[in-house]
Amino acid sequence: MASKEGRACLNLNKSVLRLIRSALEKDASIDLEIVLQKSCARTQRMARRKWPLGPMTAVSPHLESILFRAATGDESHKADISQCIERLAQSDKRIWEGFERAIIQLTDHVVVKIGQDFNHDEIPLLPLLAQRAPSISAPRALGLVTLGQTSFMFMSFIRGDTLEKQWLNDKQKQAIQTTLNHMLLSLRSISFMFLRTADKSIYTEAEFNGLLLSSTNPRIPPGYCKWLRSLLKEDHRIVLTYGDFHPRNIMVVDELGGNIGVSGIIDWEMGGFYPEYWELLKAFNTRAPTDTIDWWNYLLDAITGYERDVAVDRLVETVIRCYVK
């Protein structure tokens, strides 16, 4: 079995290889010394990172056993919970790390998402998916602990690589498109409960549209605001929405016969009930003018057909961004 130092070196080497591969795909003539310098600086930042901790929320007995087993190798060993969490937060088994966020693999079956001030709505959403849309493979929520400003969300591990890394031939793309289309149709068939917002629950698309325009500057003439509001429809279906549909959030595995199958959809933090066009709109929000991946040629029938609504939202967003100071 590899030592802790050996596993750390292995994870570091894999991370560096991913950075080099990505850089070469973008520019085959790039100076790799620059890439390696960036990788070194990133590794040093990760090593220095300290999550701000504080008073701890209550921990369920089930989550306690997961923490003890992950931190000490023995779920019967009753170590201090907060010390266990602090130890796990400094683990070298980082699957992903971004701005004030990290995902750490604790065991073969459990991961923890660590971050500051991230939305906790993913916790009640995941059980809803398991109950109402079992055909969708998503992480299973295992518990949430907060230590001061830092949240630790424990969930089951979804195996595989991201579709972003495995986007291969046309036959595989079409098969994955079909699978994902069935999953999204199942998701969008779940009965409406309420629209998800940051501050309150709202129940109609008219209220939702009012929220979209609530940040407009008073200097904008009322007549122009009224015209903008008239462009926003109020008769869409309200459907359960994933909200971050992109290859980086879709996990796939190799199957027999050279096929690739979907093992799960991860990161449901942006999910909730929204007007039916919202899924397409949020997917397009991740598309840059320089994006060369042909993922966009394989968007699902379940979420397309709302290009007018996306264009109107772009207009509203432009007005708000340009006039709100």
pLDDT in tens, 211-220: 888 876 777 8
Is the four-CA dihedral 274, 276, 282, 285 of positive or negative sign? negative
Question: Does residue 191 surpass a pLDDT of 70?
Answer: yes
Question: Does residue 65 surpass a pLDDT of 80?
Answer: no
Query: CA-to-CA distance for 154 and 57, rounded, in angstroms?
Result: 14
Across 53-81, average pLDDT: 64
To the nearest whole number, what is the mean pLDDT of the chain? 81
Taking residue 17's Cβ as centre, other Cβ atoms within 10 Å add up to 11
**Residues 64 and 153: beta-carbon distance below 8 Å:** no
Across 188-209, average pLDDT: 78
Could you state, in order of their start, the residue ranges of all structural domains in the chain? 1-48, 49-156, 161-323
Domains 49-156 and 161-323 share a fold: no
Q: Is 181 exposed, middle or buried (0-12, 13-18, 19+ CB in 10 A)?
A: middle
Among 13-22, 86-95, 124-133, 267-276, the minimum mean pLDDT is found in: 13-22
Is the four-CA dihedral 59, 60, 65, 66 of positive or negative sign? negative
Q: Any residues with CB less than 8 A from the CB of 288 and at least 6 apart, and which?
A: none
Looking at residue 251, its amino acid is: M
Assigned architecture for domain 161-323 = Alpha-Beta Complex (3.90)
**Residues 121 and 105: beta-carbon distance below 8 Å:** no
Across 288-308, average pLDDT: 90
- Residue 110: name the closest of 150, 41, 156 by CA: 156
Per CATH, which fold does 49-156 belong to? Phosphorylase Kinase; domain 1 (3.30.200)
pTM strictly above 0.85? no
- Residue 107: name the closest of 171, 154, 164, 44 by CA: 154
- The per-residue pLDDT for 72 is 66
- The per-residue pLDDT for 47 is 44
- The per-residue pLDDT for 18 is 67
- Percent of the chain scored above 90 by pLDDT? 37
Across 283-297, average pLDDT: 86
Q: Does 250 or 151 have the greater pLDDT score?
A: 250
Question: Does residue 141 surpass a pLDDT of 60?
Answer: yes
Across 53-70, average pLDDT: 66
- Model confidence band, residue 168 (pLDDT cutoffs 50, 70, 90): confident
Question: Does residue 286 surpass a pLDDT of 90?
Answer: no
**Residues 232 and 277: beta-carbon distance below 8 Å:** no
Please report where in the chains the tokens 């683990």 appear, as a residue.
91
Q: Does 100 or 145 have the greater pLDDT score?
A: 145
Q: Does 58 or 220 have the greater pLDDT score?
A: 220
Q: Does 168 or 110 have the greater pLDDT score?
A: 110
